Structure formats: C-alpha cells, structure tokens
C-alpha cells in the first residue's frame, strides 16, 4: 500500500472519529430542553454541562497530543473511544444535573480530547502542498457530526426519550469510532517501502514543544483563540433556545444548530484549499472577522430565514478557523512535535468555551435577553482578528532572522 493512498485512509479515519465524537457533543442542543425539564435546572447550569465537556476536550488535547507523539495516535484514540462509549451510556442513568457533569461532561470531554488532536496531528505528516485541504476534509467530520447528529437525536428523543437515545448513541460510537481508531497512523514510513521502520520523532525536522512555547507567534495565536472562543460556542448551546423564545418550535431551533454544522462542513472543505493559495494566516484573520460580523447579524434579528443565513455563514467561518489552525502550526513548527503543539494551542479555546456559554445562560437568567453576551462575543472576535494580524507580523520578523 503506497504512501499517498494510506494517507487518505488516515484522513477518512480522522473524519469518522471527529464525526462521532463531536456529533455526540453537539447533539447536546437536542437534549437541552429535556435536561431543563427533567432536572428543573437553569439555563446557566444546563449550559455548564456542555462547557465543562468542551473545556476538558480542549485542555486534554495537549497531553493527548504529546502522548500521541510518544506512543502513536492509535492507542490514544482507542482510549478516547472507550470514554465516548461510556459517557452517553452512564449519562442515560443520570438522575441529577450533577451526575451529568460526572458522566456526560467528563466522558465526552476526555473522549474527544483523546481522539481530536491525535487524529488531526496524524493527518499532517502525510501531506505537504495539500496539507490544508487534507486537514479540512478530516476536520469536516466535526461539521458533518454537528449537522446530522442533532437532527437524528431530536428524532430519536421524540420516539424513545432522551435516556434510550443516549444508549443507542453509545452503540453507534463503539462500532464506528472503534473501527476508525484502529485505522489511524501517523507514520508514512510504515506504509512506504516494505519493512520500513517507524520514523524516530527526534530526527524529524521542526521545533520541540518547548521551543514553540518560547516564540511570540504561538502566544499571539493562542490569545486570539481564547478571545474568539468565548463566543464561538454560544450559538451551539443557546441558538435553539433563542429560536424557541422567538416563537419557533424546538425542532426549528435544533435545525439552526445543525445548519451551523452544515456551514462548518462547507467551510472545512472549501476554506483550506482557498487558504493554500491566498495565505493561511491572513485567511485565519478573515475567519475571525466573519465570525464577529455574523454575531452582530444574530443580535439584529429574530426572523427565521435570517437566522438560517446566520447559522450557515457562522458555521462556514467556524469551519475555516478549525481547518486552518493545525496547518498553521505545522507551517510554523514542523512535524517533530506537531500533535503536542496543537494540543497546547487548543487549551486556549477550552478556556474561552468554559466561560462563554454559561455566562450567556446566566445573562439570560438575569436579564431575559441574550443581547449582552452576543455583542460581547462579536467584539472579542474582532479583537482576535487584530491579534492574528499582529501574529502575522511577528511570524514574518521571526522568518527574516
């Protein structure tokens, strides 16, 4: 089996892992109303179920990536899949919101954290010129999962209830994600010449994790991701409730969250290829500006067709952001410690996500409106774009030395 061929198998496996893992995570919107009703919980407390999970998966990306650099991504991903199976299975028996924190939040957080970064990192060594395009296809699994799984979850919840829906989700994760984890590999030498040995990480070109963390561009990129991600997941958690508050049905509200996933899917497939031509770093700044503009559009309207437009375009810019970040890290620091560096970078979005959706829920609980969190999120997205431009200038200075 030649190197380019197996590289695309790795892309497909990474796509599947992200489809399943993030589909399980983003289906949370379909369960939101059921959790409020079942546990008599506020929007802030229900939002925290998702935010804790997201904080964990972003934070655990760093040790997960470093572990993948050391022992290979396949073993790490298999452990992550086991957590993704247990999370909905145990959550289906929850009888309080606190138990959901311990089951859904912890299980999904660890599971996604141990599959996302290692699988994204595994894609990078297989490609050079088309790296952003290949990464875009791989992370399109996030958008596909975001689009399809909430819709399917809404339908299943209507048929059998939320507890049985979680049990069925556990079975799907075991079958699909388990097979994908077994196919993940980050060593092209293993699939090139017959009998080739695994590449020694220390001999690969590029920076170590410690060297990357001592550079200014990394921290500018990191801070920009923190700012942008304060608001990035607010629509994922609250858009369905916002639509219901405006008089639309729960199904219409969840459909809007799914449309973010559809837009994300389009962004991951298209933005990477365009960025390969016009520049990946300027393209990232444009994604942040686009997110800010779309949040302003959300603040301005409650008309359903405009919310549909918002969801699609917001998802497109979000998908482009996610597709570009790993490739920029690879461009800057090389393959030597790519998974570990990407993992540390993703702790930034984790911090933003931990505070964004719960604060938006608390603002609604206090004031009966999402105006303040939406406008704050927009301002932070624009600030993130400004930091990316500073990052570009810093990277150019670094390259000129």
In a domain? residue 76: yes
In this predicted structure, the answer to whether residue 194 has a pLDDT above a threshold of 60 is no
Rounded Cα distance between 375 and 130, Å, is: 37
Residue 308 lies in a domain: yes
Instruction: Look at residue 204 and give its three-state secondary structure.
Output: coil
Question: What are 221-230's pLDDT values in tens digits?
Answer: 999 999 999 9
DSSP 196: P
385 within a domain of the structure (yes/no): yes
In a domain, 391, yes or no: yes
* Cα–Cα distance measured from residue 295 to residue 371, given in angstroms and rounded to the nearest whole number: 10
For residue range 95-133, list pLDDT tens digits in order: 999 999 999 999 999 999 899 888 888 887 777 767 767
Quick check: is 198 in a domain?
A: no
Parent domain of 140 = 3-191+204-400
Cα gap 4→237, rounded to integer Å: 39
How many domains are there within the chain?
Answer: 1
Distances (CA, A) of 115 to 16, 68, 184, 222, 348: 10, 10, 10, 21, 18
| Inter-CA distances, 49 with 25, 31, 355, 364, Å | 10, 11, 12, 17
pLDDT at 4 over 70: no
DSSP state of 214: T
Residue 315 domain-assigned (yes or no) = yes
Residue 83 lies in a domain: yes
Judged against a pLDDT cut of 80, whether residue 400 lies above it is answered with no
In this prediction, what percent of the chain has a pLDDT beyond 90? Answer: 50
pTM above 0.95, yes or no: no
Report the pLDDT value the prediction gives residue 129, as an integer from 0 to 100: 67
Q: Rounded to an integer, what distance in angstroms lies between the CA atom of residue 301 and that of residue 374?
A: 12
Q: Is residue 199 part of a domain?
A: no
Task: Output the domain CATH number for residue 230.
Answer: 1.20.1250.20
What pLDDT is recorded for position 201? 56
* Token pair for 276: 């390969």
Average pLDDT of span 258-265: 88
pLDDT for 196: 38
């Amino acid at each position: 089996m030649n190197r380019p061929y197996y590289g695309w198998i790795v892309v497909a496996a990474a796509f599947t892992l992200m489809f399943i893992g993030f589909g399980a995570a983003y289906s949370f919107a379909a369960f939101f109303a059921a959790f409020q009703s079942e546990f008599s919980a506020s929007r802030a407390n229900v939002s925290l179920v998702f935010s804790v999970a997201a904080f964990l998966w972003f934070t655990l990306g760093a040790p997960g990536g470093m572990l993948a650099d050391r022992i290979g991504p396949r073993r790490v991903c298999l452990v992550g899949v086991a957590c993704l199976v247990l999370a909905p299975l145990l959550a289906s028996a929850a009888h309080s919101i606190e138990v959901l924190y311990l089951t859904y939040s912890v299980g999904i957080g660890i599971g996604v954290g141990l599959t996302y970064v290692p699988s994204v990192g595994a894609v990078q060594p297989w490609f050079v010129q088309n790296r952003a395009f290949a990464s875009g296809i791989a992370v399109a699994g996030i958008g596909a999962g975001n689009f399809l799984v909430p819709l399917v979850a809404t339908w299943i919840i209507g048929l059998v209830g939320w507890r049985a829906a979680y049990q069925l989700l556990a079975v799907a994760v075991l079958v699909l994600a388990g097979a994908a984890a077994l196919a993940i590999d980050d060593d092209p030498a293993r699939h090139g010449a017959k009998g080739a040995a695994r590449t020694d990480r220390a001999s690969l070109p590029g920076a170590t994790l410690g060297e990357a963390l001592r550079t200014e561009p990394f921290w500018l990129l990191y801070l920009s991701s923190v700012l942008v991600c304060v608001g990035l997941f607010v629509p994922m958690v609250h858009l369905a409730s916002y639509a219901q508050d405006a008089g639309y049905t729960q199904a219409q509200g969840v459909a809007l969250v799914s449309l973010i996933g559809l837009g994300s899917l389009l962004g991951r497939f298209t933005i990477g290829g365009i960025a390969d031509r016009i520049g990946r770093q300027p393209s990232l700044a444009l994604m942040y500006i686009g997110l800010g503009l779309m949040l302003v559009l959300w603040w301005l309207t409650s008309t359903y067709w405009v919310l549909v437009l918002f969801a699609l375009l917001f998802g497109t810019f979000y998908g482009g952001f996610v597709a570009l970040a790993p490739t920029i890290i690879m461009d800057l620091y090389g393959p030597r410690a790519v998974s570990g560096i990407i993992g540390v970078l993703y702790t930034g979005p984790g911090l933003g996500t931990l505070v964004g959706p719960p604060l938006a829920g608390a603002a609604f609980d206090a004031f009966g409106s999402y105006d303040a969190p939406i406008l704050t999120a927009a301002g932070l997205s624009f600030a993130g774009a400004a930091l990316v431009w500073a990052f570009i200038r810093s990277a150019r200075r670094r390259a000129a030395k």
